[in-house]
Amino acid sequence: GAVVSQHPSWVICKSGTSVKIECRSLDFQATTMFWYRQFPKQSLMLMATSNEGSKATYEQGVEKDKFLINHASLTLSTLTVTSAHPEDSSFYICSARDPRGPGELFFGEGSRLTVL
Amino acid sequence: RKEVEQDPGPFNVPEGATVAFNCTYSNSASQSFFWYRQDCRKEPKLLMSVYSSGNEDGRFTAQLNRASQYISLLIRDSKLSDSATYLCVVSTSGTYKYIFGTGTRLKVLA
C-alpha cells in the first residue's frame, strides 16, 4: 500500500514551547491530508483537514491559532503545536488519501507528544 | 445518532474461533467503506476496502449491506495476532470526508 511517513515519532518538550510534526506522502501526491489526535483508550479525533496551497479546515473546537497547519507541497503537511501545555500531550497522527485507488486513507506512524 | 456506530466490545474469543463485527452508518450517500486495524499505541492500518459485492482476503471477509446501511467484518480461525481494535471508516464520494467508528476491541485468547 501507499506510504505515509511522520516525523518525529516521539517528542518531549517544555511547557510553552512549540513543536512541529511533519507528514509526508512518499509515493503519491496528496492534495488533502488529515490530522488527528488520540488520547489513550479513545478513538481518533479529526482535528483538521489540510489542503495543499490553501488554508486548512479545522473541526469544531480545535483552535487554529494553536494548531498551525501548513500544506506547502503535494507531499508534505506540517502541524505545529504552539505554546504547548501538558494537556496537549497526546498521540498525533496524520493520514493522506491515496488518489490512485478507491480512496483509502494511509496513516503516518504517529507522533507521541509529551509536554512537561 | 452517531454517523458511524460500532460495538466497542471487547470481544474475547478463543483461538480458532470465528468472530464478526458490524458497523452501521447513517448517511445513505456514503460511497466508500473500509476496515482498519489499530494496535495499541500504533497508527491505524488498512485491513481491507469493502466492495458492494463483498470481498475476501484470506481469513477476512467484508460485506456491505446498502439497504440496511451496515458493513461487516468476519474473521475466521482467529489468531492471537488478530487481537487489536478494528475501525470502521465510511466516506462520502467527492467530499474527502472520512467518518471513523469508535472501534471494536478484539482479544483472542490462547
Report d(CA B52, CA B63) in Å as an integer: 7
Q: Name the percent of chain A lying above pLDDT 70.
A: 98
* Average confidence score pLDDT of chain B: 93
Q: Is B91 on the interface with A (CB under 8 A)?
A: yes
Which residues of chain B make contact with A1, given a CB cutoff of 8 A? 46
Q: Residue A101 pLDDT more than 80?
A: no
B60: burial class by Cβ within 10 Å (0-12, 13-18, 19+)? middle
pLDDT of residue A1: 66
Dihedral sign computed on CA atoms, order B66, B93, B97, B74: positive
Give the tens place of pLDDT for each residue, B23-38: 999 998 898 999 999 9
Question: Sorting pLDDT into bands at 50, 70 and 90, what band is B10?
Answer: very high
Contact B96 A49 (CB under 8 A): yes
